[in-house]
Amino acid sequence: MKKLVRGDAPYCLAKFKHGKDNWSVIRDNGLGKDIWEKLNIMQNGFCAYCECNLRKNNNFKGHIEHFIQRDIDPRLTFDWSNLFGSCNNPDRCGKYKDGNPVAKAIHLNKVCKPDKIDSRELMLFLNSGKVRPRKNLTTLDTELADNTIAVFNLNGDSKLENSRKFAINAEKSLADAYWEELAKDDGSLAELLQEILTEALFRIKDFEYSTALEHLWRANKQF
């Protein structure tokens, strides 16, 4: 999960209001594409939570997701700040948040909202494909990280874990070489190593599971 920068709202959302309109009006009027256009600018075609690519093999697998569910706060039904694009996987992300009893019991005020909180400062992706809270967090921040991992099942879906690990393994030989040079450097290679790191982070920023890849390069934690 990466920090997202929310842009301008789709014009169509201003046409509708809770109490007068139902969310089905978006589908019935074919307006989903207008919302997705703005979501893709913010998310670059990736799921807001697990960072999987929503468009693979010419198939699009995603849904417009209400962070605060409509039945919890209907006033946010057409609120642009409450909308994200999520994958359709029932075992994680938006569908898991809305359907799993354990996830539904966690208050969303205590969960990272990707356009408000940079969860990379709270969670660390490991080379194994798993994710955990960072060490030395405050009690509140540890709770925030734990809740985020639990609500979106970022650490409990084996398919997601294996997909992250596959992406990490594809990058690992390059990162390992960087870390080996970094460990033995006496300072003479500092400028070159920083250049290598900067180039790597720029290259992977639009990759699937880019946060896990960023943590491979920045932290390289095995367990």
pLDDT tens-digit profile, the chain (223 residues): 999 999 999 999 999 998 899 999 999 999 999 999 999 999 999 999 999 999 876 677 899 999 999 999 999 999 999 999 999 999 999 999 999 999 999 999 999 999 999 999 999 999 999 999 999 999 999 999 999 999 999 999 999 999 999 999 999 999 999 999 999 999 999 999 999 999 999 999 999 999 999 999 999 988 7
Which of 59, 56, 16 is CA-nearest to residue 34?
A: 16
Cα atoms in the Cβ-side hemisphere of radius 13 Å centred on 93: 24
The C-alpha R_g of the chain, in whole angstroms, comes to: 19
Q: Is the dihedral of CA 35, 39, 45, 51 positive or negative?
A: negative
**What are the residues whose beta carbons fall under 8 Å from the beta carbon of 10, sequence distance 6 or more?**
31, 34, 35, 37, 38, 80
The pairing of beta strand 131-133 with beta strand 55-56:
unpaired
Q: What is the model's pTM? A: 0.93
Give the distance, in angstroms, between the CA of residue 106 and the centroid of all CA atoms in the same chain.
18
Instruction: Kindly state the DSSP code that residue 21 receives in the 8-state scheme.
Output: B
DSSP β-bridge partners for residue 119: none
Which residue in this structure is represented by tokens 């014009």? Answer: 11
